[in-house]
Amino acid sequence: MKEFIIKQKMLSMSGQFKVKDAEGNDVFEVEGSFLKIPKTYTIQDVEANEVARITKKSFSFLPTFYVEVQGQETVTIQKEFSFLKPKYTIDAAGIEVLGTWWEMSFDVLKNGEVAGTVDKKWFQWGDSYQVQIYNEEMETLIIALVIAIDCVKADQAASSSAAF
């Protein structure tokens, strides 16, 4: 099992932050596009190689996010039409997210087996998540999925506050 900490900086305009392992070593760097359409986040390893990309689809009726790992589109997160509580679907071959992902406490399953768990750390400066990976082949995908879900939540919060 591997453990990672994703800690986003509060009020960071660039959306740049690091993903660290349990010992505090940098493993990935995440950088968001600032004032760019479509909004993207790139995830790079310590050698600055892009390992994943998250892209928000531009000009769609309902928000849609695509997650690419190693250049292959692997996950699509799409908002469903709902009136009260926001609902999203995650479309990925054999991958399922169970739990309260809106509160960032969930398991990621691959073909019915737990491949990783995610828990939000409360009372932190900025958003902070503890990620445990049980299936190391899915390490990059799970990290990208956590960041993508966080992007979906931030997008929802921004659109909710703009409506008032």
Q: What is the pLDDT of residue 141?
A: 93
pLDDT band at 72 (very low <50, low <70, confident <90, very high): confident
Q: What is the pLDDT of residue 11?
A: 45
Q: What is the pLDDT of residue 51?
A: 96
pLDDT band at 66 (very low <50, low <70, confident <90, very high): very high
Q: What is the pLDDT of residue 62?
A: 76
Contact by Cβ (8 Å): 65, 55: yes
CATH number at residue 9: 2.40.160
Q: What is the pLDDT of residue 44?
A: 96
> Is 132 in a helix, a strand, or coil?
strand
Closest CA to 149 of 51, 79, 83, 94: 79
Q: Estimate the share of the chain in helix, then strand, then coil, as percent rounded to the nearest 5.
A: 20, 45, 35
- Counted domains in the chain: 1
Residue type, 69: V
Per-residue pLDDT reduced to its tens digit, 2-49: 999 998 765 454 578 899 999 999 999 999 887 777 889 999 999 999
Q: What is the pLDDT of residue 96?
A: 86
84 has pLDDT over 90: no
Enclosing domain of residue 157: 2-162
Per-residue pLDDT reduced to its tens digit, 101-150: 667 889 999 999 999 999 988 766 667 899 999 999 999 999 999 888 88
Q: What is the pLDDT of residue 32?
A: 86
